[in-house]
Amino acid sequence: MSRLTNDRHAQEIAALRTELAGLAVGVKLIRLDHVLSCKYRPDQPRAPAGQSDGGRWVSEGTDGASEAQSQTEDSVLEDGSRVLSIRIRAKPHTDWDEQHTVTGPDGTRTVFETSGLTQTIRDGDSGEILARSRLTQDGAEPEAFVQLARSRPRPSDDLARRFARALEAAGSLFSVLSGQNTKNRKAIFVAPASEYIPGDAYDHRAMWVGAVGQTELDQLCPRNREVQAIADLVAADVRASGNYMDEQDFGNKVHVGIADIIRAMRDPNFDAEISYDPITGDKVIYGTKGSLRLDTLEHPRPSTVCVYDHKTGRGYLRSRRAVDLVSAAQKRYPDATTFIAIEIRAGQ
């Protein structure tokens, strides 16, 4: 067989693979459209408090006492991002038990598939794996994955842009999941040590976002219960005093009260109400115009920094702020490799 014939044969195979990949994406879009037709409604029943899935949505026709086979939620954020979540509740899926598809304001889709404590992040259009990591007590550890033969290596600058968008998508997903926090499960955003730099390997930029139980949270950020208890105590005291003008003033007084208690401990690895220059990461005077405020910081290990964001009203942690919080902490602790963002809702 001539070389020309071999080249033509290889081209035909490549064309068939491309066509199959396109069909696979088409099928996924059809499935997505089907799921989107089942709109999330705020009056959809929830499982009762006290159960392992208490507060989570359940299917119609159930009393919440038993888990549904699957649950679907569709959320739209203030910036136009959309998060479609599918959870398998009874019969485990072959590949994942939670899947979240995040569509950014520009239409870029990123898919987060979680199986246990392992998470795979994919390009929502091509299906290409962008990263895979497993959550451990030391943070997110990267895991090796096999890329399909039809996938072509991305140029480093394109990969940098795609990773940055995935980081923004992770912030959007974290924002949605934080709004679903329960007493026994909280959303966390384990961000990479830095944003993607062309030429760098993936090894040090493992990323994980999802809800974890109290045991996992205690291993990652040992003082999370203490932070929650302080926030609850201060919120109750301020509310009981009645010494506030409105809900915004109430929130401000709660933030100040939490900071006073934590600062009084004089623990260098436990600090509150710190303002940073968002560009340099330098600590500045509290309230400096243009500065970024971090509510509470816990530095349990040299490699780990936990960033707590306190909420007192109906507001939620916006995706851009989630990324900014981690970015500021990275500049403050350049030697750390794991940064974990957690929302703490005072009084709840």
Are residues 243 and 253 in contact, defined by beta-carbon separation less than 8 angstroms? Answer: yes
Residue whose entry in the numeric block shows the structure tokens 């569709």: 74
**Side-by-side strand order, sheet with 98-103:** 70-76, 82-88, 98-103, 109-115, 118-123, 129-136, 139-142
pLDDT value of position 162: 79
Q: What is the pLDDT of residue 29?
A: 52
Whole-angstrom Cα distance, residue 96 to residue 74? 18
Quick one: which of 64, 115, 135 has its CA closest to 304? 135
Exposed / middle / buried, residue 37 (Cβ in 10 Å: 0-12, 13-18, 19+): exposed
At residue 52, does pLDDT exceed 50?
no
Give me the domains of the chain, ranges plus CATH numbers: 38-218 (no CATH), 221-345 (3.40.1350)
Across the chain, mean pLDDT equals 77
Coil, helix or strand for 215? helix
DSSP 8-class letter at 267? B
Distances (CA, A) of 67 to 58, 87, 181: 7, 11, 18
Residue 227 structure tokens: 């932070």
Q: Residue type at 6?
A: N
Secondary structure of 330-343 as H, E, C letters? HHHCCCCCEEEEEE
Mean pLDDT along residues 36-65? 43
Residue 217 has pLDDT above 90, yes or no: yes
Q: Evaluate if pTM is beyond 0.85.
A: no
Q: Give the tens place of pLDDT for each residue, 222-269.
A: 999 999 999 999 999 999 999 999 998 999 999 999 999 999 999 999
Classified as helix, coil or strand, 283 is strand
Tens digits of residue pLDDT in 69-102: 678 889 888 888 899 998 876 555 456 789 999 9
The angle formed by the CA atoms of residues 308, 121 and 127, to the nearest 5 degrees, is: 155
Classify each residue of 313-347 as buried b or exposed e, where b means 16 or more C-beta atoms within 10 Å of its C-beta: eeebbbbbebbbbbbbbbbbbeebbbbbbbbbbbe
Contact of 110 with 169, CB cutoff 8 Å: yes
- Name the 3-class secondary structure at 243: coil
Q: Copy the structure tokens of residue 94.
A: 């072959």
8 Å CB contact between 320 and 165: no
**DSSP of 108-122:** -EEEEEEETTEEEEE
Residue with tokens 């140029």: 155
Write the pLDDT tens digit of every residue in 311-331. 887 766 677 777 778 877 887
**pLDDT-based confidence at 53, cuts 50/70/90?**
very low
